[in-house]
Amino acid sequence: MNVDSILAHVDANLDESLERLFALLRIPSISTDPAYTADCRRAADWLVDDLATLGFAAETRDTEGHPVVLAKADGPAGKPRILLYGHYDVQPVDPLDLWQEDPFAPRIVTRPDGGKMIVARGACDDKGQLMSMVEALRAIKAVEGELPVPVTVLFEGEEESGSPSLPAFFAKSSAELRADAAFVCDTGMWDPTTPAIAMSLRGLVAHDIIVRAANRDLHSGQFGGPARNPNHVLAKILADLHDEDGSVTIPGFYEGVTEPSNAQKANWDSLGLTAADFLGPIGLSEPAGETGRTILEQVWSRPTCEVNGMSGGYTGAGFKTVIPGEARAKVSFRLVGDQDAMKLRAAFKEFVEARIPSDCSVEFIDHGAGPAFRVSETWSMLQKGAAALEEEWGKPTAMVGMGGSIPIVHSFKHELGMDTLMIGFALEDDNVHSPNEKYDLTSFHKGIRSWVRVFASL
């Protein structure tokens, strides 16, 4: 494959690439607001038409919600089939008055430092990112006359609403989705000049717990003392979850936790992130997690337990001397390595139940439970991807972890047995989900070039 010619083609045709991206950005495909249902379909149809120009057999597939774009194209024999995933839906735009211009009138804005950026809702998340993959394929096809590999495309329209229709679609269409690997362009750079590949995602197990004591709210004057206060029971449970060193105290919690390799640790250390870098912007200074772990270890390779919500009794203005009948908390765990979500759920319940007085009760509401995801450091596509990025950006690729989850990547792994290469070009200041979302022109341009190099490396 003549990579230099393809890259030159990308450079020469950037304006046309931008024009296509702008056409997609002009469609207000807000998935959470029913007023934009027709626009979501319009965005899906636009992508189908565009993919068809690249030779894809492309169509929309109806779901309970917004349609999925599914497209398939052949490529050179003997090459692995790649599933490209992205989402064409965008976040709502409120508060609209904080936008400097119409969120769906994309434009190029030049910053004081001379940098150019594409400003529009979806410019980064995820229209700009998904089009960088499409434009890379377009350039390869233009120069080479064919796609670099067999490609399947899955662009959904409900990512910003929690992908409610995707499980049913997966169940029905898994055979059509099978591929050798998935490429997802929905993550970020380490910093504006350092490319990154996300190698791992933490898993998640989440629960509501409801501690019940008296059969009604009590007056703390009449009953304070003898009557059990479920706020106290709950506070004790929540306080017991961590020890003085920030470790989680649930028996067996750390079973299945693996340590990153020395190479991995060295790559992380080379990024030079300090506690002040990480905590300063959010107004904190003292790392709170397990002692003896760096910030990056903590968010990328260590499991956590967080109380995401708690409520009990009177919480309004003024004061009410009530002993409530119940108190509630939302508790979630981030999992890493081979931690078993179901085993942890059982251990957590046992831990809680052991702390419930005999005349009180506890109810659990189970929310999602999914294990962590990670690719092997020796996965060939990972190594090829890292090398391709280094070539484009002139710097070693940061092999990062991600503290959160990307449900689709977990599904690819656990339902289709497929690893995912997560490469993205978002920057921290892209205002994703906020007013004045932008995507640097460099992210888009060098993003296309990066994908050209990644595809060429296969």
For residue 453, how many C-alpha atoms fall within 13 Å in the half-sphere facing its CB?
A: 22
| 223/287 Cα distance (integer angstroms) | 41
Give the distance between the most distant pair of CA atoms in the chain.
Answer: 84
Residue in the structure block whose two tokens are 């052949």 = 74
Pick 396 or 407: Cβ nearer its own copies: 407
| 431/434 Cα distance (integer angstroms) | 5
Give Cα 202 to chain centroid, integer Å.
10
- DSSP for 159-200 reads GGGT-TTHHHHHHHHHHHH--SEEEE---B-SBTTB-EEEEE
Tell me the CA distances in angstroms from 142 to 79, 174, 445, one per residue in order: 19, 31, 17
Rounded least distance, CB 299 to its own copies, Å: 5
Residue in the structure block whose two tokens are 């994309």 = 106
Give Cα 256 to chain centroid, integer Å.
23
Pick 45 or 240: Cβ nearer its own copies: 240
Rounded least distance, CB 239 to its own copies, Å: 4
Rounded least distance, CB 318 to its own copies, Å: 7
Pick 128 or 203: Cβ nearer its own copies: 203
Three-class DSSP category at 115? coil
Pick 142 or 360: Cβ nearer its own copies: 360
Residues 69, 74, 77, 79: is their CA dihedral positive or negative? negative
Rounded least distance, CB 281 to its own copies, Å: 8
Rounded least distance, CB 43 to its own copies, Å: 26
Pick 178 or 236: Cβ nearer its own copies: 236
| 68/84 Cα distance (integer angstroms) | 13
Rounded least distance, CB 275 to its own copies, Å: 7
| 250/247 Cα distance (integer angstroms) | 9
| 79/152 Cα distance (integer angstroms) | 13
Pick 77 or 282: Cβ nearer its own copies: 282
Rounded least distance, CB 416 to its own copies, Å: 23
Pick 405 or 450: Cβ nearer its own copies: 405
State phi, psi for 210 to the nearest 5 degrees.
-125, 115
Q: Per the omega criterion (within 30 degrees of 0), is the bond before 95 cis?
A: yes
Pick 251 or 404: Cβ nearer its own copies: 404
Rounded least distance, CB 403 to its own copies, Å: 4
Pick 248 or 448: Cβ nearer its own copies: 248
Q: Which two tokens stand for residue 288?
A: 């709170």
Rounded least distance, CB 341 to its own copies, Å: 14
Residue whose C-alpha is closest to residue 217's, from 357, 323, 120: 323
Pick 35 or 239: Cβ nearer its own copies: 239
Three-class DSSP category at 68? strand
Rounded least distance, CB 134 to its own copies, Å: 28
Question: What single-letter amino acid sits at 111?
Answer: R
| 205/182 Cα distance (integer angstroms) | 24
- Note whether 248 and 334 are within 8 A (CB): no
